[in-house]
Each structure stands twice: as C-alpha cells, then as structure tokens.
C-alpha cells in the first residue's frame, strides 16, 4: 500500500471514529427542530407546577429507561397481544408514572416538526428540566438518541435495583452500568424529591433497627403493618419538593425512607461520600449533573439504528 493510500485509510478511520463520538450533540435539533428544547421545558414546568411529584416521576422514568437496554425509550412501550414491555416489571408495575406528560410533549413536537424528535431524547431532556424546575442543578443534554423497537421485561426485572437492596447489591447494579460507588450515591440523591409507596418501606419501618424511632412511628400512622400498600410518604421529609442535599442529612439522622437509602449510610464504604454531600451541596450538585450526563449516554441508538417513534407508546 502506497503512503497516500495509507494516509487516506487513516483519515477515513479517523473520520468514522469522529462520527461515532459526535453522534450525540447538544445542538442536534438546532436546524431540524429549533424549538424542541423550549417546548419540552415549558411542558415540564407546567406539569411540575401542577404536581411537584411529577418532577421526580419524570426523573425516575429516564433512569428506568436507561438502565434497561440503554436510553432508548423502551420503557414507554405499551404491551400488545404479541409483546410484553417493561411497564409490568416488578420495579415499574403500579409505580412508574409520567407517561401522559411525555405523550403531551411528543404531541406538541409532532405538530412542530413531525418525525424529528425521539421519545428517548424527550425523556432525557424532561429529566433535566424536572430537576431544574425543583431547584436543582442544570447540565447540557447531549441529543440524537433514537427509539428502540423492542423492550425487555426480564432486563427490567433484573437490572433495576429495588428498595430492599443491600449496599453491595446497589454498588453491583450501578457498576454493571459503568458507574462508580460515588456516582451511585450522587444519583441516589435524586430521592431528595418524590414519594414512595408504603409497600416499599413497610419492612423497614417495622423491622429495621437503623431507623430513628420517632421517624418510624410517624410513618406507621399512614403505613399499617398490613394493608395500605399504596399509601405515599415523602422520600425526603425535610424539603420534599426541593432538589437539595437534605436527603444526605436525613441519612445521617437514620431517616432514610427506603432500606436501600439507609444502606448508603450504615457503617459501610459509602458513609464518607454521604458525609461529603451533606456538608457540601455544591459538590453534590456538580457530581449529580455529571452522573446524569453519563447516564444519558448509556448505549443510545444513533444513526440508522432504531426509529423516531410517532407515538411513544408503540413502534411505527
């Protein structure tokens, strides 16, 4: 092979690598749908103003999407007669919500620029806008994801950590997706907003010993030992509708709502990280934002993979 041919081959490979790394871009819709981001933001702000809990629900929707097959909007697919999606998986059944908000955003974007903005990108941007709407940090969202034509019930059941997870199980779950323990703790800080059902923390308030006794007593009033499984409690009792670092202070006081929450501060390897975020809200905000960018980059479909769903609930 002559030198010019080698140079051409090298340049082709270099360009291909560049194309792969540049497939997600913060300006992806700059020309094809310039009002995409402002449209998503206004809809999210409206939804969160109507119900602050929706911010946490949209953030959770993005997380539950990305941890299963990557950020491909697979979590949004409805079951059909020949297909079972992820909505009925243990971590999602009767608890995952916010689908109507995503449908509303998709409908607006289809009117503005038909067939351009993916459901996966809507989820990613809505998660960021929800955090900001509740007083949390902002970050630049990379765009250009496409939507999957499949979902995985089994992966949703196996890959998403549950409320009774041990610290080692949490570390393992996040490590499997490429996250460090510190990133796991930062992302867990999302429990500074939102609510959980009695069925997810009942065992903790009646059986765990590493729980503040008055805190447990107050929760039992609305979460009896039997029944009332869908009754709700705030994940952060201090400032439930503000995205701040109070979650970590609660853990220091043995007031984590879920067993998995308190595992982060229970004499284990992550105690020092919790202490750090409790005393330095700015470092929590920065680390959370960076971990969210990393989550949004989990195995996205780009280029000609997948499709741009017209309806987020079903394939085209």
Helices (H), the chain: 3-21, 36-50, 53-66, 99-112, 119-133, 153-159, 167-175, 181-188, 198-207, 213-220, 246-252, 259-262, 271-279, 281-296
- The answer to the question of whether 110 is labelled as a binding residue is no
- The answer to the question of whether 287 is labelled as a binding residue is no
**Is 259 one of the annotated active-site residues of the chain?**
no
Q: Evaluate whether 134 touches 242 at the Cβ level (below 8 Å).
A: yes
Distance (Å, rounded) from C-alpha 208 to C-alpha 201?
A: 10
- The answer to the question of whether 161 is labelled as a binding residue is yes
- The answer to the question of whether 271 is labelled as a binding residue is no
Quote the distance between the C-alpha of residue 36 and its chain's center. Answer: 20
Catalytic residue among 41, 64, 87, 313: 64
The DSSP secondary structure of 92-107, one letter per residue, reads TTTT---HHHHHHHHH
- The answer to the question of whether 65 is labelled as a binding residue is yes
Distance (Å, rounded) from C-alpha 247 to C-alpha 230?
A: 22
Calculate the dihedral angle through the C-alpha atoms of 176, 178, 181, 185, rounding to the nearest 10 degrees.
-100
Distance (Å, rounded) from C-alpha 287 to C-alpha 265?
A: 18
Give the number of other CB atoms < 10 A from CB of residue 157: 16
Q: Is 228 left (phi over 0), alpha (psi -120 to 50) or beta?
A: left
**Looking at the DSSP assignment, which residues form a beta bridge with residue 80?**
83
- The answer to the question of whether 208 is labelled as a binding residue is no
Q: How many residues does the chain have?
A: 316
Whose structure tokens read 């780009």? 302
- The answer to the question of whether 70 is labelled as a binding residue is yes
- The answer to the question of whether 38 is labelled as a binding residue is no
Binding-site annotation: residue ranges for heme b: 191
Bind-site residues for Ca(2+):
65, 68, 70, 72, 74, 86, 192, 236, 239, 244
- Binding residues are 65, 68, 70, 72, 74, 86, 161, 191-192, 236, 239, 244
Annotated binding site for substrate: 161
Active site members: 64
């Amino acid at each position: 092979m002559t030198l010019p041919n080698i140079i051409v081959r090298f340049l082709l490979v270099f360009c291909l690598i560049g194309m792969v790394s540049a497939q997600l871009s913060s300006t992806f819709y700059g020309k094809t749908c310039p009002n995409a981001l402002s449209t998503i933001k206004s809809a999210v702000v409206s939804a969160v103003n109507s119900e602050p809990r929706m911010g946490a629900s949209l953030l959770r929707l993005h997380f539950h999407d990305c941890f299963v097959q990557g950020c491909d909007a697979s979590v949004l697919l409805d079951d059909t007669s020949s297909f079972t999606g992820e909505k009925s998986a243990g971590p999602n059944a009767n608890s995952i919500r916010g689908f109507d908000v995503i449908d509303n955003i998709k409908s607006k974007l289809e009117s503005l620029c038909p067939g351009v903005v993916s459901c996966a990108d809507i989820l990613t941007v809505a998660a960021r806008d929800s955090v900001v709407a509740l007083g949390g940090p902002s970050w630049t969202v990379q765009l250009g994801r496409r939507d999957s034509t499949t979902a995985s019930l089994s992966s949703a059941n196996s890959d998403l950590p549950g409320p009774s997870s041990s610290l080692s199980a949490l570390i393992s779950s996040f490590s499997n997706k490429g996250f460090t323990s510190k990133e796991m703790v930062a992302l867990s800080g999302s429990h500074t907003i939102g609510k959980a059902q009695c069925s997810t923390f009942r065992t903790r308030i009646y059986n765990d010993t590493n729980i503040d006794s008055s805190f447990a007593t107050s929760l039992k009033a609305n979460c009896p030992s039997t029944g009332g499984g869908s009754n709700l409690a705030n994940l952060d009792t201090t400032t439930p509708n503000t995205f701040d670092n109070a979650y970590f202070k609660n853990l220091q006081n043995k007031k984590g709502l879920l067993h998995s929450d308190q595992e982060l501060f229970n004499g284990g390897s992550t105690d020092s990280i919790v202490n750090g975020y409790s005393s330095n809200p700015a470092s929590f905000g920065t680390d959370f934002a960076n971990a969210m960018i990393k989550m949004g980059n989990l195995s996205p479909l780009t280029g000609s993979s997948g499709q741009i769903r017209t309806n987020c609930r079903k394939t085209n």
